[in-house]
Amino acid sequence: MSEKSLIPEAVGERRIWLRVGTLLNGVTTTPLKNANIVYNREGILFVGGPESSPPANLLGVGQTAPDAELPDYTLLPGLIEAHAHLFLEGGELNLDKRAAYIKQTPAELLAAAMPRLEKLVRIGVTAVRDAGDRDGVGLALSKLYAGDWRPLMPYLDSPGAAIHHKGRYGSFMGEPIEDCASLRACVEKRVNAGADRIKLIPTGIINFKKGAVTTDPQMTAMEVTELVAAAKSFNRQTFAHASGDAGIENAVEGGVDSVEHGFFVREDQLARMRDRGIAWVPTFTPVQKQVDHADLMGWDAEIVGNLKKILDQHAASLVKGHQMGVQIIAGSDAGSVGVAHGYGFLYELELMERAGMPSLAVINAATGASSSRLGFQEKFGKLEPDYLSRFILTKNSPLNGVTNLRKDKLVIFDGKLFDSQENANAQGM
Ligand SMILES: [Zn+2]
């Protein structure tokens, strides 16, 4: 039986009143039991506990009972993927095929990205912060979302081309500073192209063979500071690809809004991130995938040992950071080798939980924390009045393990119902 028969759709002026066994609002660390929620297609009108029935003026005329009693179900906000490269197909493990894929024209890359959008919604990912590409794919999708007509797709915003230094890591997703007259001109160029935020690449990546970041930082703290100031003057947030403590230092001292990846982050850096409100998006998945597919990647036992050590250290830092009060935000780096869009994000949540973060904290990192910190243009990611009607309804409570989010669920998007099992496959993701 399709779960769609559980509840009515919120179409037209229709208001829906549900009573659910468990409600996770995306923020609090205590689930709300036997909760009431009222919403229409535009947004949430009311959320309350068992003692607080919704006021009559928020309900349909003459309505005195919920449209559905769902004591066995959990309701939570739609998930926010905070780090994905929509222009790449992440599930593809064949490195030759990946190299050929990325050589396609921007129009071809955009066409290949389009079918991912509806699938993401059905997986339960109702918002994506694209993490950049130089072919305008993310920007085109962001404009599609903001346009008058849009297909079934998650909220989506993008930085367009990331900012990096010529000859250093990042050319496949960015454009060099050296192409601009100044750092500020670089930021202005992105803003004029439609960038919703500014992506910086102050470091290279982990050298998997050596198990360390072996290159020097690619931006100084001064450069980051100047880029952040320019972005702020255009009212844009900044997010920094940064691994290795030397480069993380420059990102933190430069005052970015979030550190992406953050492998090898030090405890004193986590403390400053907490104190300055700099969020951390730890992206376990791309490194874990190198371990999962070590044979295909050509890694021997020693290299796999290095990778596992890095992941263990990262897991310990995540738990420490969470306990210290650092704002942790979930993002998978989908599009990286082996990291399929949507499915890779669900895996990321599992890895955060496996690292030792409580299930509910992981859910909050994938919903309310993102919503609060990342300055999205719309209100989603929390079950509170005035937030959009984009939820997940499931009989398989993610509080018993976030892997339950992989199971059958109903996705409610602007009041409409979507079954997660229809059109669900990793093809092209
Ligand atoms: Zn990335």
- Percentage of the chain beyond pLDDT 70 is 100
Distance 234 CA to ligand 1 centre (A): 23
Give CA–CA dist 1/425, Å, rounded: 19
**Residue 309 buriedness (CB in 10 A; 0-12 / 13-18 / 19+):** exposed
Q: How far is the CA of 102 from the centre of ligand 1 (A)?
A: 15
Report the alpha-carbon distance of residue 10 to residue 344 in Å, rounded.
30
| Span from the CA of 296 to the centroid of ligand 1 (angstroms) | 21
Tell me: pLDDT of 1 over 70.
no
Question: Mind listing the pLDDT tens digit for each residue in 260-278?
Answer: 999 999 999 999 999 999 9
Going from the Cα of 81 to the center of ligand 1, the distance in angstroms, rounded, reads 12
- Residue 260 pairs in a beta bridge with 241, 281
Give the CA distances from residue 336 to residues 3, 120, 136, in Å, rounded to whole numbers and listed in that order. Answer: 33, 17, 18
Written as one letter, the residue type at 45 is: L
The rounded Å distance from CA 84 to ligand 1 centre is 6
Which single residue is written with the structure tokens 């007509």? 149
The Cα–Cα gap between 366 and 78 comes to: 9
Report the candidate in 57, 22, 12 with the shortest Cα–Cα distance to residue 38. Answer: 57
Inter-residue contact 371 to 380 (CB < 8 Å):
yes
| Residue reference for tokens 């490269």 | 85
Tokens of 282: 């730890």
302: amino acid identity, one letter:
E
- Cβ(265)–Cβ(259) under 8 Å? yes
Q: Note the pLDDT tens digit of each residue in 140-173.
A: 999 999 999 999 999 999 999 999 999 999 998 9
* Cβ count near 172 (within 10 Å): 15
pLDDT digits (tens, 9 = 90+) for 416-428: 999 988 877 889 9
* Strand runs labelled E in 238-344: 238-242, 258-261, 279-281
Compute, in angstroms, the gap from residue 175 CA to the centroid of ligand 1. Answer: 15
Model confidence pLDDT, tens digit, residues 88-106:
999 999 999 999 999 999 9
- Report how far apart, in Å, the C-alpha atoms of 180 and of each of 165, 171, 176, 221, 299 are: 11, 15, 8, 19, 39
Q: Which residue has the higher pLDDT, 61 or 15?
A: 15
